[in-house]
Structure 1
Amino acid sequence: MTAPSLLTPPRLEEAAHLILRVGRLLLGSGADTGHALRRIETMAAALGVEADVFISSERLLLTVRAGAAFRTKLSHPLTGAGISMSRLGRLDAVVDRLVDGSIDLGEAERRLDAVEAAPPLYPGWLVVAAVGATTACLARLFGADWPVVAAAFLAGIASTGLRRLLARRGANPFGAAFLTAFASGLLGALALKAVPRAVATPCVAAAGMILVPGVPLINGISDVAGGHIEIGLARLASGTITILAIGFGLFLAAALAGDALPVSSGAGAVPVVQDVLVSGLAAFGYALLFDVPLRAVWACILCGMAGHGLRTALGAAGIEIATGTLVCATLVGLLAHRFGAHRRLPPVTFAFPGVVAMIPGSYALRAAIGSLQLMALGPASPGALVAETLSLAIAAMVMTAAVGTGLVLAAALQHVRPVR
């Protein structure tokens, strides 16, 4: 039954504003389109209104109706304040309280004000140090020696600090990705000049991979799979352009430092046990970067170990990497839903830190570097470079799709009920 109080234009206006605000904040905090739509539909039903919403890559357009009255509103731009799993959890909590009748529209607005004004859970210096450690872990997962891992740690600290500074200054995201990749890659390459016979590629690639927009890429795949084509393609296009900007920045940094970034990795394999432990530590850094609540960080670490670590174990057993990525992403998705139900947090809280290390950032970056080399060489490009660049680009797309498909499959399995 439609709530009588919402039949009046002022109350309908309040409901439309609240629903639109929640949807915008959810998308800006890292929710995929399906999650935002479900929350909007839940709120509308609880408030006694009908809601039609259109989500584009830039704004939301909402129409709510109660009886003969209706309101249509356009949201502010979907810029957001960055990926924050703690903010997602608090937003879901506000919606839940509104739905069960614990709070009214006015109190919900006040709680949303508090959510928007709340600072990140972790101090900046801790996040910078944790992401630096994650960068070092990624370099090790690429098979780097320990001096290169140490240089990657320094590059990761510089990368995260500069990225946060540019974000506060409102810099263009693509320009910020280029500048950050250039500065951190140059620092890592120069630091390794003091180490004889050190190969800078794993360090530079790890410094760039920490910038790869794994969350938008994963959400893009999820959105496309869920039928939200327009916003999904926009997210994938934005992620692809960001990767190209990162690759260009690293390419210029290596050229300025006098190092050639080979398209082939040449990295050795990391022992499976070490891979599992390092993957868990990398997930810890991502958990802090994504502002995951402390009570849930241990679950993020477990998801990271089950993701990249298990994929390495499967590879050692002869399973090719795309299949291993699909299997492990599905497992991480299932664990994420279990942890989410147990901790009363969105499943993405655990899924993102668990699978981001499996996003083929090194493949994508090396494909971007290869593309730049092809552009420079033109018709004189050797066939091996053309073939390897295409192979890397295809592998990056297939593995990114495997990660997204695994998470979508895990979500679908949650709704399967056994036949009695």
Structure 2
Amino acid sequence: MNSGCNEHRVKHNVNISDEQQALITRVIVRAGQLLQAYNAESRIIEQTTERLGIAFGLDSVEIALTSKAIILTSRFGDNCITTTRTMKAHGIDMGIVCEVQRICILAEKQIYDVEQVKKRLDNLDVPKYNAVIVACFVALSCACFSHLFGGDSIVFICTWLTSFIAMRIRQWLTQLHHNLLTVFFITAFFATFIGSFASGFGWGNEPELIMITSVLQLVPGFPLINAVSDMVKGHITIGMARWMTATLLTLASALGIVLAVQLAQQGGWL
């Protein structure tokens, strides 16, 4: 990494005006903003912004990350520029993360200049997947878990149907821009409540598996993994923030499950 940085400093041994440095800083912070918005690891955000700064001829780039903002300082000679950007989460999308890193590599190879990088970053397309197809495969994964846990074909089919309905409810609530905690709570409630009817009617060999596995789609695995990775690599603050977010999502799901179970018991079919 150090040898690569030295090479880039030799290649870009030219003067950079204040306006050029300001433009470079805005482009670099935009790349970091995209990476954080789509749930890249903190270490990846740091490395990518540093590499872009060196590729564009800066002496150094320093970045501080919080759960809702990026603070970035670029230095060239005795001139420093600091900028702050707020961050709005856009969900998990490794395609965007990989594309930003690809753009960084092209800048390091001098294939892209600052203006070209800025244009690519401003025109990144977020892939649109068919919501029904996504719901089908999410439901299929939950149904496969029910089979792995010993459920028969009836449990498998009922789990798929329950998970599909719950996922469609989740997608609908997300499109309405509801709070994520509310989305998880309502989705867990409906998944458990619908699945409870299987226990009441005695469908399948282990009907309780339908309630258990249909809510597995709500497990915040990726945020938890990133949280642990950040804390292990020294980013304690943002790692704790991500851990707390995942914990709150889990708690919201648990509350939805408990409420559905209580209603099912009061209704007499569980």
Q: TM-score range by the shorter chain?
A: 0.7 to 0.9
Matches within 5 A, 1:250-329: 250-258=257-265
Matching residue of 1:18: 27
Matches within 5 A, 1:7-86: 7-49=16-58, 50-77=60-87, 79-86=88-95
AA paired with 1:81?
H
AA paired with 1:141?
L
Counterpart pick for 1:239 among 239, 242, 246: 246
Distance (Å, rounded) in 1 between the aligned partners of 2:200 and 2:123: 49
Q: Does 1:118 align with 2:126?
A: yes
Between the two proteins, the alignment pairs up a number of residues equal to: 257
Distance (Å, rounded) in 1 between the aligned partners of 2:138 and 2:233: 31
Q: Does 1:96 align with 2:105?
A: yes
SS at structure 1 position matched to 2:81: strand
AA paired with 2:265?
G
SS at structure 1 position matched to 2:215: helix
Following superposition, the deviation at residue 33 of structure 1 comes to 0.9
AA paired with 1:30?
N
SS at structure 1 position matched to 2:86: coil
Gap change, CA 1:178 and 1:5, over 3 Å in 2 = farther
Following superposition, the deviation at residue 7 of structure 1 comes to 2.4
* 2:56 and 2:114 in contact (8 A); partners too: no
Matching residue of 2:225: 218
Following superposition, the deviation at residue 176 of structure 1 comes to 1.1
Matching residue of 1:146: 153
Moved over 6 A (4+): none
Gap change, CA 1:191 and 1:111, over 3 Å in 2 = farther
Matching residue of 2:6: none
SS at structure 2 position matched to 1:7: coil
Following superposition, the deviation at residue 31 of structure 1 comes to 1.4
* 1:6 and 1:12 in contact (8 A); partners too: no
* 2:61 and 2:73 in contact (8 A); partners too: yes
Distance (Å, rounded) in 1 between the aligned partners of 2:138 and 2:32: 29
AA paired with 1:161?
R
Counterpart pick for 1:132 among 132, 139, 153: 139
Following superposition, the deviation at residue 55 of structure 1 comes to 0.6
* 2:154 and 2:204 in contact (8 A); partners too: no
Matching residue of 1:228: 235
Q: TM-score, normalised by structure 1?
A: 0.58
Distance (Å, rounded) in 2 between the aligned partners of 1:176 and 1:243: 12
Per-residue CA deviations over 1:295-354 (Å, capped at 9, x if unaligned) read: xxxxxxxxxxxxxxxxxxxxxxxxxxxxxxxxxxxxxxxxxxxxxxxxxxxxxxxxxxxx
Following superposition, the deviation at residue 131 of structure 1 comes to 0.5
AA paired with 2:39?
G
Greater per-residue helix proportion: 1
* 1:5 and 1:11 in contact (8 A); partners too: no
AA paired with 1:213?
P
Gap change, CA 1:197 and 1:83, over 3 Å in 2 = closer
Distance (Å, rounded) in 2 between the aligned partners of 1:6 and 1:232: 38
AA paired with 1:72?
T
The structure number with the bigger radius of gyration is: 2
Distance (Å, rounded) in 1 between the aligned partners of 2:39 and 2:206: 36
AA paired with 2:67?
S
Matching residue of 1:335: none
Matching residue of 1:195: 202
Per-residue CA deviations over 1:168-217 (Å, capped at 9, x if unaligned) read: 22211111110111112212222554435754432222222211111000
Following superposition, the deviation at residue 14 of structure 1 comes to 1.4
RMSD: 2.1
Distance (Å, rounded) in 2 between the aligned partners of 1:227 and 1:133: 37
Q: Does 1:249 align with 2:256?
A: yes
Q: TM-score, normalised by structure 2?
A: 0.87
